[in-house]
Amino acid sequence: MDPVDAWGGKKISATSIYFEIFPYKVNQETGDWDYKKFREVADKIGAYLLCDMAHISGLVAAQINLCILGFRKLKTADPFEYCDIVTTTTHKSLRGPRAGMIFYRKGPKPPKKGKPEDAVYDFEDKINFAIFPSLQGGPHNHQIGSFAIALKQAMSTGFEAYAKQVKANVVAIGKYLIDKGYKLVTGGTENHLVLWDLRPLGNKVEKLCDLCNIIVNKNAVFGDSSALAPGGVCIGKYCN
């Protein structure tokens, strides 16, 4: 299926205008992303490798292993080890204000065949100019201060305990739904999200939950004919 078919062939977002998006599969054994393989492909074709870890940034920060449902202190697959650029929001699992961050490589590039060893990364000026003055105006200093506090908290042992509890909570929710006979995409969860397959009622369930002061969001699942009337519901659990 063409990536924009779900929207009737219309390219309605900036990403769909500038990029062509295709799905990929995670490792079936681990449920994690193979950044090393992506890095090898990017190097082979001369492409940059970017990871948007908006949803999982809190788990990455807490070094929670997404591949194991237990609470062993193992490291999540690290996008910073392989990616040229890493982006994230700060208001999801990082518990900060509504904002975002862009990380990028600086300094000399590693030596590669056919390229001079003195080559350097040139992301800084391009990214800074793209943000200001190209896309944004004045800074929101109250947000900068508040997500500095959020990042400080993410460095604490208490944040690691919080991330573990978030994971335990959502695993419990997933198990409860399965025990009640409901179907979850992927058969469960290994992070902080549950994708609940309610085809064709996802759109209606979102509205009913909203009336009960339960905030969920409708979400397309494989097999939906339109993203405007999705059949799934996504549940994200960030609270203790």
Predicted local distance difference test score (pLDDT) of residue 213: 93
Predicted local distance difference test score (pLDDT) of residue 135: 86
Predicted local distance difference test score (pLDDT) of residue 186: 82
Indicate the residue type of 184: L
Predicted local distance difference test score (pLDDT) of residue 207: 92
State pTM to two decimals: 0.81
Domain positions in the chain are: 5-155, 159-236
Q: How far apart (Å, rounded) are the C-alpha atoms in residues 159 and 63? A: 10
Reported for 32-39, long-range contacts at CB under 8 A and 24+ positions apart, including other chains, are 32/66, 32/67, 32/76, 32/77, 33/77, 33/79, 34/77, 35/77, 35/78, 35/79, 35/81, 35/82, 35/83, 36/82, 38/82, 38/83, 39/82, 39/83
Sign of the Cα pseudo-torsion (215, 167, 23, 89, in order):
positive
5-155 belongs to CATH 3.40.640.10: yes
**Treating both helix axes as pointing N-terminal to C-terminal, what angle do 157-179 and 141-154 enclose, rounded to 10 degrees?**
80
User: pLDDT per position in the chain (240 positions), as tens?
Assistant: 444 444 455 676 777 777 777 777 777 776 778 888 899 999 999 899 999 999 888 888 887 544 333 444 445 678 898 999 999 999 988 899 998 999 999 988 877 766 666 788 999 999 999 988 888 888 888 989 998 999 999 888 888 888 888 888 988 999 999 999 999 988 888 788 899 999 888 889 999 999 999 888 888 888 888 777 888 998 876 654
Predicted local distance difference test score (pLDDT) of residue 75: 54
Identify the architecture of domain 159-236 in CATH.
Alpha-Beta Complex (3.90)
Q: Do domains 5-155 and 159-236 have the same CATH topology?
A: no
Predicted local distance difference test score (pLDDT) of residue 90: 92
